[in-house]
Amino acid sequence: MSRVYNFSAGPAVLPEEVLREAAEEMMDYKGSGMSVMEMSHRSKIYDAIIKEAEADLRELMNIPDNYRVLFLQGGASQQFAMIPMNLMKNKKAAYIVTGQWAKKAFQEAKIYGEAVKVASSEDETFSYIPDCSDLEIPEDADYVYICENNTIYGTKYKALPNTKGHTLVADVSSCFLSEPVDVSKYGIIYGGVQKNIGPAGVVIVIIREDLITEDTLPGTPTMLKYKTHADADSLYNTPPAYGIYICGKVFQWIKKLGGLAAMKERNEEKAKILYDFLDQSKMFKGTVRKEDRSLMNVPFVTGDKELDAKFVKEAEAAGFVNLKGHRTVGGMRASIYNAMPKEGVEKLVDFMKKFEEEN
Ligand SMILES: *Cc1c(COP(=O)(O)O)cnc(C)c1O
């Protein structure tokens, strides 16, 4: 068996311990004589899996009792519609557009009401986070929407926006569980798990109870109402059962390593290795304003498209895969999520040094 260092933005690297454990339990989960993939989601044994996953996530994120945790499907992209359908009582919401995912959410919201762009960093290819300390937020906006870590552009909010009392909704797909978080500051925190937690097919929505109501936009399908899933403890219909089981294993892995404070320390250490190298390199340059740099996604360029392509190709041959940047940015991007070991980043930097010397 040979594993590569996988810098994919998502689906992305998972902890080896988790994959090994899942392999061991594949044929016979805890004496049930079957795989978790084969069991009823209404069985006692599965109930324990989903309940334990939720309890561990609550412990990790210190989720207050007045928040519900929902395990849903449809990816983060489905939330772009579900959020306005459930929250737009006044048919108005404020969006901060800091990248492609925030922009898609903003455009989707326009289908359901008045989505107001209150800030954007599109003028400089989303390479920074705008000042959000004093934005003009409409009085009657139902919520303020952000994408907290911009997977494609590699920026991250270091301070949450001043919402002036409005409900904050955040897409945290690519920074989920990467550092401690104060859940009470948000109305909704959600993310697809395929970046930093588990396999594609699960989206986790952490939502304050008062936002779960029958009062959704007319025509909202049953499956797209938060209330449907909250009332049924995420078992209204068949959930993405196997994916939730893997997420549960990742929660336990994080707990074992010391929780979110330990994750933050690890992630800062890893990111520093790469950013420090970029800051002194004559060939490779980071593309993001320094104070807004993400700990998870690190885009960089050489300034020469052919050299970029050569780097990506030679890196792949050396076992560093999925380093090609997003098509809208070009260059390279190293996604260094929780499960990327420090050694992977160190070896990548060694490889970059060697490449710089030789080219
Ligand atoms: C990947 C990603 C999405 C899209 O997720 P899907 O599950 O494919 O819909 C949305 N937001 C962010 C921040 C992402 O990184």
- Looking at the chain, the whole-number percentage of residues with pLDDT higher than 90 is 99
**What distance in angstroms lies between residue 280's CA and the mean position of ligand 1's atoms?**
32
> Which residues are CB-neighbours of 27 under 8 A, at least 6 positions away?
35
Residue 327 is predicted with a pLDDT of: 87
Residue 347 is predicted with a pLDDT of: 98
Residue 329 is predicted with a pLDDT of: 85
In the predicted model, what is the mean pLDDT of residues 328-353? 97
- Convert the pLDDT of each residue in 191-223 to its tens digit: 999 999 999 999 999 999 999 999 999 999 999
In the predicted model, what is the mean pLDDT of residues 232-249? 98
- Convert the pLDDT of each residue in 77-114 to its tens digit: 999 999 999 999 999 999 999 999 999 999 999 999 99
**What distance in angstroms lies between residue 67's CA and the mean position of ligand 1's atoms?**
22
- Convert the pLDDT of each residue in 299-333 to its tens digit: 999 999 999 999 999 999 999 999 999 988 899 99
Annotated catalytic residue, options 156, 195, 227, 249: 195
d(CA 198, CA 178): 13
Annotated catalytic residue, options 56, 142, 171, 308: 171
Indicate if 253 belongs to the active site.
no
Query: Which atom in ligand 1 lies closest to the alpha carbon of residue 151?
Result: 15
d(CA 59, CA 138): 35
- Convert the pLDDT of each residue in 39-51 to its tens digit: 999 999 999 999 9
Residue 1 in this model has a pLDDT that exceeds 80: no
Residue 2 is predicted with a pLDDT of: 86
Mean pLDDT over the full length of the chain:
97
Residue 271 in this model has a pLDDT that exceeds 90: yes
Task: List all residues whose CB is within 6 A of at least one atom of ligand 1.
Answer: 10, 75-77, 101, 147, 151, 171, 173-174, 192, 195
Query: Which atom in ligand 1 lies closest to the alpha carbon of residue 101?
Result: 11
Indicate if 142 belongs to the active site.
no
Residue 284 in this model has a pLDDT that exceeds 90: yes
One-letter-per-residue 3-state SS of the chain: CCCCEECCCCCCCCCHHHHHHHHHCCCCHHHCCCCHHHCCCCCHHHHHHHHHHHHHHHHHHCCCCCEEEEEECCHHHHHHHHHHHHHCCCCEEEEEECCHHHHHHHHHHCCCCEEEEEEECHHHCCCCCCCCCCCCCCCCCCCEEEECEECCCCEECCCCCCCCCCCEEEECCCCCCCCCCCHHHCCEEEEECCCCCCCCCCEEEEEEHHHCCCCCCCCCCHHHCHHHHHHCCCCCCCCCHHHHHHHHHHHHHHHHHCHHHHHHHHHHHHHHHHHHHHHHCCCCEECCCHHHECCCEEEEECCCHHHHHHHHHHHHHCCEECCECCCCCCCEEEECCCCCCHHHHHHHHHHHHHHHHHC
Query: Which atom in ligand 1 lies closest to the alpha carbon of residue 194?
Result: 7
Considering the entire predicted model, what is its pTM? 0.98
Residue 328 is predicted with a pLDDT of: 84
Give 142's pLDDT tier (boundaries 50, 70, 90): very high
